[in-house]
Structure 1
Amino acid sequence: MARQTIHLEPAERDPAKLKKTGLSIAVLMIIGGVLVTFAYRLKHQSDEQDARPHVVQRLTEVFFGRDQNNKAFTTEQLKGKTTLFTPLSLQEGERMKESLGAMRDLSQRFPDDENLLFLGITVNPEADGPDELRHLLMELGVADDSRWFFVQAEEEAARGYIRHKIRAEFKESVSSLEGPRERFRSTLVFIDENLHVLAPMFDLNLAREVADDAGRLLAEDPEEARRLNARERVDDVEKARARLDAVLQYIREGDLKEG
C-alpha cells in the first residue's frame, strides 16, 4: 500500500502577533512571580511581627579576629553591651546597603550610648582585610566611632561562628528563570549584654522586596493585590526599621520572651 504523503504548511509567523504573545507571556510570568514571591515573603515576614525578643542561645565560645585597625578582637569585648551584628562581604555592597544604613542611623541616633556596639564579621577575609574594612567604615561616616568593629578572621572560623553560634545565615537560594541561584543574605541580629543571641533576626532586603512586590502587584493586578492586602505591605521597610527600634528598647528594659 502506497504511503500517503502529507504536505505540512509552515506555521504563520506574524512578527506583530508573536511580539504580542511574547509580551503577554512575560506579563503573566512577572505577575505570577510576584504572586509567588509575595505570598512566600509575606509568610516569612510574620516572624518579625512580635518585636519582643527572645533568647536563641548564648555565645559561650569566644571568637577571635582582627578589627579594622588591625587590633585583636574577641567577643569578650561585647560583654555588658548591646550589640547589633551583621555579616559582611565587601563585594556585596548593594546587598549590605539596607543593613549598614540601619546600623549607621541607629548609631547616629544614640551617639553617646557607650553600651551600644556595632559588629560586622566578614565572610570573605581573603578580600576584606583591615584596610578595606576601615575604608567601608569611612564611607559610612563612622570610622572614628569607637563603638564599631568590622572584623576579619580565618574564613572557616568566621563562617562557622556566624552560622552556628550567632545563627545568622549569610547565603540564600532564590528562584530565577535559569533555576535556583545563591546570593548573599544581609541580616541584622541583636546580642544582649550577657552574650545572648536574640530573635527576631531582621532582613531589610526582604522587607524591601516585599514592599516592591506589593507596589508592583497594586499596579499590575489590583484584584489580587486586594486579596493579599498588598497595600499594607508597601511600607514594610519602615515597619521593619520601627521593629528594630522596638527590639532595642525591649532589650534595654530587659523584657524578653521565653525562648
Structure 2
Amino acid sequence: MRTPVQHLEPAVRDPRKLRNTALILTAIMIASAVGIFVAYLKLAERQANDDTPSFKGRLDPNQVLKVWRQDESEGDLGSLQGHVYVIAPVLFSDPERWQHTRAVLERLAKKYADREDFHIVCLTVDPENEPPKKLAEYAKELDATLPKWWLAATREESTHKFLKNILRMEVYPHREDGKWIYDGAVVVIDRDRHIRKGTVKMSDRFRTDAKFDFEAAAAWGKEHPVDGDTTRVSRDLEDLLVHVIDHVLAKPVTKQ
C-alpha cells in the first residue's frame, strides 16, 4: 500500500534571529581581523627594532666555488667554512668601476688585520682576460696578500652562475657593446655559510634589507647630499657593513 505523501510546510525563518546571527558572525570576523592586524604590527615593530642581520640564503657545501688565486694556487671557498668573509665581484682592469668598493675593502683589511677568521674575496667577472698572472699584478697594487685577501678567478660560466644563482646578485654578468655589466655589491658570508644582509629601519614599525653597493651609494650621495654632505650615505652604508661583520664574527659556528 502506498504511503500518502505528507504535506510539508516551509520553515519560517525569524528575521530578527537571522540579523542577530549575521551581526555576531560579522563581529567575530572583524575581531579576528583586528587581532591578526595588531599581531602583525607588533611583529613588524619588533623586527624594526631588531638590528640583527637578515638571512638571504645559504651556500651549499657541494656548490661552493673553486678558484685560482693571485699566487696561482687553487682555492676553495668551502675551506672558509667556520670563518667570515666578504665577496666582491669586480673588474680589475677597470678600477674606476669599483673605486669606492675598493676603498671600503682596503679599510676592512686594515680593521680586521689581526683576525685570522676574516677574509676578503675579490672575484673577477672577466676571468678569461684576468687570469692568475694578471691577478698577481693587481694584488701588488692592492697590497692584497693571502690568506687574508683573495683575488680569485675561475671559468667565466661558473663565476657568473655562482654570482646569480648562489649569491642571488641582481644582474647576471654580461657584455653590452663591449662593456661588462654586473652587480658589484659586497656580500657577507657568515661562519655557517649564510648570506647575511644589514637591515635599515624605515619607520617606527618597518625595516628593509640594505644592499652593500658602494658605487650606487656614492652616486646617490653625490646627487642627493645629506645636509650638504655627499659622503654621508656611503659612510652610513659602510658602518652598517661593519656592524654586520662584527655581529657574525661574534657568533660561533652552529653545531649541526
CA distance in 2, matches of 1:171, 1:165: 11
The Cα shift of 1:59 comes to 0.8
In structure 2, the partner of 1:246 is 243
The aligned counterpart of 1:129 is 131
Deviation at 1:232, TM superposition (A): 7.9
Mapping 1:174-193, distance limit 5 Å: 183-193=181-191
> What is the distance in 1 between the residues matched to 2:172 and 2:162?
14
Q: Does the 8 A contact of 2:197 with 2:244 survive in 1? A: no
User: Whose helix fraction is larger, Structure 1's or Structure 2's?
Assistant: 1
Normalising by structure 2, report the TM-score: 0.65
Asked if 2 retains the 8 angstrom alpha-carbon contact of 1:85 and 1:120, the reply is: yes
1:54 aligns with 2:54: yes
Q: 1:197 is matched with which residue: 195, 198, 210?
A: 195
Correspondence for 1:37? none
Equivalent position of 2:7 in the other structure: none
Q: Which residue of 1 aligns with 2:22?
A: none
Provide the rounded CA distance (Å) in 1 between the counterparts of 2:228 and 2:83. 35
CA gap 1:136/1:169 in 2 versus in 1, 3 angstroms: farther
Pick the structure with greater CA Rg: 2
Aligned pairs for 1:91-170 within 5 A: 91-142=93-144, 144-169=145-170
- 1:85 and 1:190 in contact (8 A); partners too: yes
Alpha-carbon distance, 1:171 to partner: 6.0
Give distance in 1, aligned partners of 2:135 and 2:170.
20
Separation in 2, partners of 1:171, 1:50: 32
**1:126-179 deviation per Cα after TM superposition (whole angstroms, max 9, x unaligned):** 11111221222211122x342111111111111000111112345699xxxxxx
> How far is the alpha carbon of 1:93 from its aligned partner?
1.2
Distance 1:231 1:132 in 2: 42
Residue 227 of structure 2 is aligned to residue 231 of structure 1: yes
TM-score normalised over the length of structure 1: 0.65
SS of 2:151's equivalent? Answer: strand
The 8 Å contact of residues 168 and 189 in structure 1, kept in 2 or not, is answered as no
- Conservation of the 8 A alpha-carbon contact between 1:170 and 1:186: no
Task: State, as a whole percentage, how many aligned pairs show the same letter.
Answer: 19
Q: Residue by residue, what CA displacement relative to the aligned partner does 1:183-234 show, whole Å, maximum 9, x if unpaired?
A: 443211100111111124300111111110014xxxxxxxxxxxxxx53873
Unaligned runs of 5+ residues in structure 2 are: 1-48, 199-210
Residue in 2 aligned with 1:32?
none
CA distance in structure 2 between the aligned counterparts of 1:75 and 1:213, rounded to whole angstroms: 37
| Counterparts in 2 of 1:172 and 1:166: CA distance versus 1, 3 Å | closer
Equivalents in 2 of 1:73, 1:208: separation in Å?
A: 32
Give the letter for the 1:89 counterpart: L
Deviations 1:28-69 (Å, cap 9, x if unpaired)?
Answer: xxxxxxxxxxxxxxxxxxxxx985311111111121121111
| Aligned Cα root-mean-square deviation (Å) | 2.6
Whether contact under 8 Å (1:172, 1:183) holds in the other structure is yes
Report the equivalent of 1:207: 217
Distance in 2, matches of 1:51 and 1:172, equals 31
Whole-angstrom distance in 1 between the partners of 2:129 and 2:53: 34
Is contact 1:170–1:187 with CA below 8 Å preserved after alignment? no
- Taking the aligned partners of 1:68 and 1:95, their CA distance within structure 2 comes to 20
Aligned length: 185
